[in-house]
């Protein structure tokens, strides 16, 4: 990949709402049990918002933390990309709402939706603005209130998802050896109906009928998504490493999208990664869609597993299907 200048992640902030939804809580809501959820997904608990709290609220909290970490004020940011599948509303875009709540006077921005790959895709789009010199500082926020589109009578989906947000600041790297090295993204639209929310768009605008048919919730063919994810996540990572002449053993930290612990461990196994360097926090947060990767970056930092100079591989598979991988050297 040719870049005019190397771009680094210079700050990270995350936020999850305080309210917990545990497996014990879910046992009271649907026909499930802690053992099944833990064994099949690796999830113990997830955070969910209280009524009236929206994606922009979580995004703002994460953004504030990222700014504070780098000693920046909102007006230092030139552009803001909000990665989300659960915007506050159809329009205006969540980036506008976040801009206003943050008081980020000189920001322009927009939303990006590539389902669970939204964060890695937005990261790359933001990187382009900085690498070309168009902008000095770009903020990318991955934020989702998945609880707003989950059917809490459907045991196959409601146990998986949670709410959360993570924000990063992108800046030019003074040290050319640190920052984002390369990326590989792919979409396969033939998988569109394996994971989707059919209602509320231009094809099926909201009506009493779409509500009665539960079309405003996540619908998923779990096994189809599982098989695709395990195959594609390892395949895209292998191709990205190969074209950069990097051996799997050189990757210090693997930060995958957190959809299912079994998908993560199967992918890591295929890639020959030692589990010590594989970041897993799905037990505490569930699948927060656009927020999983920044939340996992934060977990890696908290656990002392992510240091300046470490070679890091990000990977995701999501509805669409969308597939993404990013190779970088951590810069702070």
Which residues are catalytic, by number?
116, 257, 287
User: Cis before residue 92, ω within 30 degrees of 0?
Assistant: yes
Does position 223 bind ligand UT7 by CB under 6 A? yes
For CA atoms 81, 289, 197, 210, the dihedral sign is negative
Compute how many other C-beta atoms are within 10 angstroms of the C-beta atom of residue 61. 18
What is the residue whose two structure tokens read 């970088």?
A: 328
Of the ranges 83-91, 128-136, 144-152, 155-163, which one interacts with ligand UT7 (CB under 6 A)? 155-163
Closest CB to ligand UT7 among residues 202, 223:
223
- Judged by CB under 6 A, does residue 147 bind ligand UT7? no
Q: Is 84 in the site for ligand UT7 (CB under 6 A)?
A: no
Contacting ligand UT7 within 179-208 (CB under 6 A): 195
Interatomic CA distance for residues 133 and 91, integer angstroms: 29
How far is the C-alpha of 284 from the C-alpha of 189, rounded, in Å?
31
Q: Write down the least CB distance from residue 78 to ligand UT7, Å.
A: 30
32 sits near ligand UT7 (criterion: CB under 6 A): yes
Burial of 157 (0-12, 13-18, 19+ CB in 10 A): buried
Site for ligand UT7 in 104-133 (CB under 6 A): 116
Select from 76, 86, 78 the least CA-distant residue to 49. Answer: 86
Window 269-298: contact mask with ligand UT7 (x via CB under 6 A)? ------------------x-----------
Residue with tokens 């292998």: 238
Among 259, 311, 315, 331, binds ligand UT7 (CB under 6 A): 259
Nearest Cα neighbor of 260 from 84, 37, 33, 49 is 37
Q: Which of 13, 277, 318, 324 touches ligand UT7 (CB under 6 A)?
A: 318
Q: Does 155 bind ligand UT7 (CB under 6 A)?
A: yes
């Amino acid at each position: 990949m040719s870049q005019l200048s190397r771009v680094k992640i210079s700050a990270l902030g995350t936020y999850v709402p305080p309210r917990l939804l545990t497996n014990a809580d879910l046992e009271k809501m649907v026909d499930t049990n802690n053992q099944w959820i833990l064994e099949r997904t690796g999830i113990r608990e997830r955070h969910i918002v209280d009524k009236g709290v929206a994606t922009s609220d979580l995004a703002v909290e994460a953004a504030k933390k990222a700014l504070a970490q780098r000693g920046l004020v909102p007006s230092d940011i030139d552009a803001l990309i909000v990665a989300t599948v659960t915007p506050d509303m159809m329009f205006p875009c969540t980036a506008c709402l976040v801009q206003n709540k943050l008081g980020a006077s000189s920001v322009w921005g927009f939303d990006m939706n590539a389902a669970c790959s939204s964060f890695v895709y937005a990261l790359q789009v933001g990187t382009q603005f900085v690498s070309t010199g168009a902008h000095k500082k770009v903020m990318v926020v991955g934020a989702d209130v998945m609880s707003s589109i989950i059917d809490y009578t459907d045991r196959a989906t409601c146990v998986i998802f949670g709410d959360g947000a993570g924000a990063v600041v992108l800046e030019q790297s003074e040290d050319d050896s640190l920052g984002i090295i390369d990326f590989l993204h792919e979409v396969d639209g033939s998988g569109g109906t394996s994971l989707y929310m059919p209602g509320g768009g231009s094809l099926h605008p909201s009506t009493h009928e779409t509500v009665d048919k539960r079309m405003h919730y996540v619908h998923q063919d779990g096994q189809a998504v599982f098989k695709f994810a395990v195959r594609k996540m390892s395949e895209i990572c292998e191709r990205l490493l190969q074209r950069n002449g990097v051996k799997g053993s050189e990757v210090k930290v693997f930060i995958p999208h957190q959809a299912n612990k079994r998908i993560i461990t199967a992918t890591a196994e295929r890639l020959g990664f030692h589990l010590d360097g594989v970041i897993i926090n799905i037990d505490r947060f569930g699948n927060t869609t656009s927020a999983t990767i920044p939340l996992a970056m934060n977990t890696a930092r908290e656990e002392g597993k992510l240091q300046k100079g470490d070679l890091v591989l990000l990977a995701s598979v999501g509805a669409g299907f969308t597939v993404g991988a990013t190779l970088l050297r951590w810069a702070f």
